[in-house]
Amino acid sequence: MKSIEEINEKIRKGEVVVVTAEEMIEVVKEEGVKKAAEKVDVVTTGTFGIMCSSGIYFNIGHTKPKIKLGGGTVYLNGVPAYAAYAAADVFLGATALPDDDPRNKNYPGDFPYGGAHVIEDLVSGKDIRLTAHAYGTDCYPRKFLDAYININDLNEAVLFNVRNAYQNYNVAVNASNKVIYTYLGMLKPNFGNANYSSAGQLSPLLNDPYYKTIGIGTRIFLGGGIGYIIWQGTQHNPDVSRTERGVPKEGAGTLAVIGDLKKMSPNWLRGVSVKGYGVSLAVGIGVPIPVIDEEIAFYTSVSDDEIYAPVIDYSKVYPNRESEIIDFVTYKELRDGQINIKGKKVPTNSLSSYFKAREIAETLKNWIKSGRFFLTQPSAPIPGVESGVKFKLFSGREVSQNEN
């Protein structure tokens, strides 16, 4: 057993042994779990994928005369932001679209610019045009503001994502006879291709499947800077089917994360346009896993051939909330470029970047080895399998036509 404090002491002394989750596979294969647990102090993970439930908030300072944005409207480069806080706070979600974007009226829509692109531009240091209308009060008389703002002139600028780093995910296919456009990309008819999005063996929560070290307060790599896990993500669903070694066989745990946007980089926060679907943000996240005992050494040695993902039809099953899983495939098969569905060889496409996931794990490793990054003891765990936390389906009472 090693404590976080002991590991941090090793970081301070420059004696810490850090490997990436990819390297850990080899370490355990060659030396066994016991020796690996003694030798390795930290395993670094990484993922770089499209994560829609992301956003930023910031404070613009007070204009002269003052304006209360709260209750008014705010646009950033033409993209509507949320302005229902106090006078000078603004929230912008990644998927926001300009009012005049044609969406899918011209199907499939192109979605060239939205909230996530504003986030990327802001992080890049570009000026952003803020246009605000307010109703005016005695204490905040101003009713209109049209100005360029820059991240360097803002007070706080914070990335705040309510659901990131999904622990495993669906593989999307199309059983229908026409092309469909989904958040997992374009799907050709009759199982023409299979799209997936996970860093697999490098992915944070797949290396700590029962959330034994990752919890509220865990310090992480976020968007090129430093961030923290602040809660379980929305739709967190720990109690799903798992393999013998505890790895979920479908989407399970998620993370809510936060971090200083001013320290982040457009290399790790990228606006994306998903044809026919919308705008989203690609986010880079890396979580360090302290190898506190043999169990964690074992978990972090998981490899792509031991991680299964469910293949789901996105033409009918997914949109109608049906539960049919066509098959389970491993990330090894997916990454090798071809899976077998109902006897047919289907080419696979990844939407998350393994190259960048690897780069994140390497970067985090170097930060820790050079004493720039220390590990944290979580303040509280995120809900595990035994917590009873379940992702509920919609149960609202729909208003009938008669009530209208």
Nearer to another protein, 5 or 26 (CB): 26
Nearer to another protein, 280 or 363 (CB): 280
- Element (DSSP H or E) covering residue 349: strand 344-350
Which member of 1, 100, 105, 139 is catalytic? 139
- The angle at the Cα of 307, spanning 34 to 242, to the nearest 5 degrees, equals 90
Nearer to another protein, 71 or 125 (CB): 125
Q: Which of 273, 330, 376, 387 binds another protein (CB under 8 A)?
A: 273
Please give the residues from 161 up to 180 whose contact with another protein meets the rule CB under 8 A.
none
Write phi, then psi, for 38 (nearest 5 degrees): -75, -40
116 alpha-carbon distance from chain centroid: 13
Q: Does 361 bind another protein (CB under 8 A)?
A: no
- Per-residue x/- track, 19-48, another protein (CB under 8 A): -----------------------------x
Smallest CA-to-CA distance from 28 within 364, 284, 219, 306 is with: 306
Q: Which of 275, 316, 332, 369 binds another protein (CB under 8 A)?
A: 275
Q: Which of 352, 363, 364, 368 binds another protein (CB under 8 A)?
A: 352
- Per-residue x/- track, 309-348, another protein (CB under 8 A): ----------------------------x---------xx
> In the bound complex, what is the minimum distance in angstroms from residue 350's beta carbon to another protein?
5
Reply yes or no on whether 139 is catalytic: yes
Helices 21-39 and 354-369: crossing angle, nearest 10°?
30
Q: Which DSSP string corresponds to 260-301?
A: EGGG--TTTEEEEEETTTEEEEEEEEE-EEE--SHHHHHHTT
Please tell me the distance from the alpha carbon of residue 280 to that of residue 258, in angstroms, as a whole number. Answer: 17
Neighbours of 38 (CB within 10 A): 14
Nearer to another protein, 98 or 383 (CB): 98
Token pair belonging to 365? 């490793």
Q: Which residues contact 14 (CB under 8 A, 6 or more apart)?
A: 369, 371
Q: Which of 270, 285, 290, 334 binds another protein (CB under 8 A)?
A: 270
Interface residues with another protein (CB under 8 A) are 48, 50, 185-186, 193, 195, 270, 272-275, 280, 282, 337, 347-356, 358
Q: Which residues are marked as active site?
A: 139
